[in-house]
Amino acid sequence: MNFTHLHVHTEYSLLDGSNKIKEYVARVKELGMNSAAITDHGVMYGVIEFYRAAKEAGINPVIGCEVYVAPNSRFDKEAAGGDDRYYHLVLLAENNIGYSNLMKIVSKGFVEGFYYKPRVDMEVLETYSEGIIALSACLAGEVQKYLVRGMYEDAKKAALRYEGIFGKGNYFLELQDHGIPEQKMVNPQLLRMSKELDIGLVATNDVHYTYAEDESPHDILLCIQTAKKLDDEDRMRYEGGQYYVKSPEEMANLFPYALEALENTQKIADRCHVEIEFGVTKLPKYDVPQGYTSWEYLNKLCFDGMDERYQPVTEELRTRLEYELGIIKEMGYVDYFLIVWDFIKYAKDHDIIVGPGRGSAAGSLVSYTLGITTLDPIKYSLLFERFLNPERVSMPDIDVDFCFERR
């Protein structure tokens, strides 16, 4: 039987996971699996390290995150207390669109929804649902929380809502068994719900460390996180020592009644293919006014700026400016100059003190006509090629100094 771990925390689930990426990938390969996932709590810090390690080992990396979902709006910072501040939800990127959307979801959680944890809400999930496969997570998932409280119909409504967001076949009910009584109670209800709602099942192990013998050091890590002592009675624990990277055989022994849920893990992993390019510079696109391309708008700004700074505008100046613009276009940095122009213009328009420019960027007439620098490169016979040289392709390095008070 093929099986893939789809619910996995690494060392990047800070003070909660002790599952080191290299050890994890090596263990997965040793156990004969061809895919593995990363789903750290609320963050994607470990994704690149995991992706590289998995690819190197010939393992298909499934990129994911276990996000925190606010019960109401992510902007509501007075949510219900205790366990209802947020629900858990596992999100997996099926493709590069899903990977892009997952990064946006995680960023929204920090920038807009942070309240104890980086939280998102239904609006964020609906906006960025394309290319993402969702799992109902652990006992902290919304569906499971309702089931633990005996609220079966509410659990069904929640499951249908998530399925509506991610689409048929892209949302799964998650079975887990770490020997916890609540899981023994919840799992039969998830089996029943799966049949009633025609929503697929998936069996996972909530991995927090690599080997069974790692339970004790992981327990110490939890004490550090919660500022408790090992012999404190009332503290956070992962009881039972079952949160390690289990073999397909161990998972089959846990779920003999749900073999389809185990097979679904491999089917999901086989659907997930994210390709991350390395060594390629990717610049943001600058939104220009309607009726212009980026290239046309940069030319307009530069020639308008030249008219302001030089009287008269000589043919020699025009030739120099056109030459620099041609190099910038050829090297693919048109949007880069518009972005730098934009934030420096913003600073000057809002009385935020900006330096005159320093370093090789001062040798560029484009920089001067845009107001990025305030030193005339023609007057001082400065060389553009020290700044940008088509013979030595590298990112432009524009050093900008802002006053510390309003930086």
pLDDT tens digits for the chain (407 residues)? 799 999 999 999 988 899 999 999 999 999 999 999 999 999 999 999 999 999 999 999 999 999 999 999 999 987 555 567 899 999 999 999 999 999 999 999 999 999 999 999 999 999 999 999 999 999 999 999 999 999 999 999 999 999 999 999 999 999 999 999 999 999 999 999 999 999 999 999 999 999 988 888 888 888 888 898 988 888 888 888 899 999 999 999 999 999 999 999 999 999 999 999 998 878 899 999 999 999 999 999 999 999 999 999 999 999 999 999 999 999 999 999 999 999 999 999 999 999 998 899 999 999 999 999 999 999 999 999 999 988 877 788 899 999 999 88
The closest alpha carbon to 18, from 40, 51, 49, belongs to 40
Instruction: State which amino acid sits at residue 74.
Output: R
| Percentage helix, strand, coil for the chain under 3-state DSSP, each rounded to 5 | 45, 10, 40
Burial 266-292 (b: 16+ CB within 10 A, else e): bebbeebbbeeeeeeeeeeebebeeee
Q: Determine contact, residues 282/288, Cβ cutoff 8 Å.
A: no
Instruction: State which amino acid sits at residue 229.
Output: K
Contacts of 130 (CB under 8 A, 6+ apart): 97, 98, 101
Half-sphere exposure of 320 (CA within 13 A, CB side): 21
Query: What is the pLDDT, as a whole number, of residue 30?
Result: 97
Phi-psi bin for 269: left (phi > 0), alpha (psi -120 to 50), beta?
alpha
C-alpha 201/C-alpha 192 separation (Å) is 10
The closest alpha carbon to 64, from 75, 81, 51, 52, belongs to 51
Residue the block writes with tokens 């209800």: 189
Query: What is the pLDDT, as a whole number, of residue 80?
Result: 53
Phi-psi bin for 209: left (phi > 0), alpha (psi -120 to 50), beta?
beta
Q: How does strand 87-93 pair with strand 132-135?
A: antiparallel
Query: What is the pLDDT, as a whole number, of residue 130?
Result: 98
Two tokens at 121? 């809400």
Query: What is the pLDDT, as a whole number, of residue 393?
Result: 75
pTM of the model: 0.82
Q: Determine contact, residues 36/62, Cβ cutoff 8 Å.
A: yes
Q: How many helices (H) and strands (E) does the chain have?
A: 14, 7
Q: How does strand 87-93 pair with strand 119-120?
A: unpaired
Q: Domains in the chain, ordered, with CATH?
A: 21-271 (3.20.20.140), 294-386 (no CATH)
